[in-house]
Structure 1
């Protein structure tokens, strides 16, 4: 995704966006990177990925109530459709997101 204000992207995008709240030092976050890529590929690019580093955007993390990472929030036109924290399998992630494509 282009480098823009993440909050603006979330609120104004017509696309369905999966926001990955993460930190560089977070082991489980690193573990989930290939899982996210594979799951979104399997969904045919219908859902866009936006990664938000909680250390660089603490106010955004606080606004969306992010208390643990990794944390995933699915948005469409600024509305939260789904959210989940923690590690997931590719199968579970695809299954959860499929209904929103």
Structure 2
């Protein structure tokens, strides 16, 4: 989990997308997260996290529904939501924290 601390302790917003390969809604978000990453460039970071490969982290963050999206800035969670989102909405939210 110390690696997780390094991932989220940045001065730019970090969008975490929690997914599972067996969950169609969360895998459908891959393309959206790719679009968000392209739009942000170096003003933010997008990280996809497979809940099945990161069970300890998923439990610690109480991931229940998929997809679950979180935004961290400087190590603090500033936004969280479960369910699908479109790229424009996510980019708009992330820009509030740039």
TM-score relative to the length of structure 1:
0.82
- Bigger mean CA offset, 41-50 vs 9-18: 9-18
Gaps of 5+ in 2: none
Per-residue deviation, residues 9-54 of structure 1 (Å, max 9, x unmatched): 2354444211111111111112111111112211233111222111
Aligned length: 98
Tell me what 1:56 maps to. 53
- 1:32 matched to 2:24? The reply is no
Q: What SS is found at the alignment partner of 1:61?
A: helix
Mapped contact 1:16–1:47 kept (Cα < 8 A) = yes
Q: What SS is found at the alignment partner of 2:41?
A: coil
Q: Which structure dedicates a bigger proportion of its chain to helix?
A: 2
Q: Structure 1 segments of 4 or more deviating over 2 A?
A: 8-16
1:83 to 75, 80, 84: 80
Q: Report the Cα distance in structure 2 between the residues aligned to 1:13 and 1:6, rounded to whole angstroms.
A: 13
Root-mean-square deviation (CA, aligned residues, Å) is: 2.0
Structure-2 change in CA distance of 1:45 and 1:11 (3 Å): closer
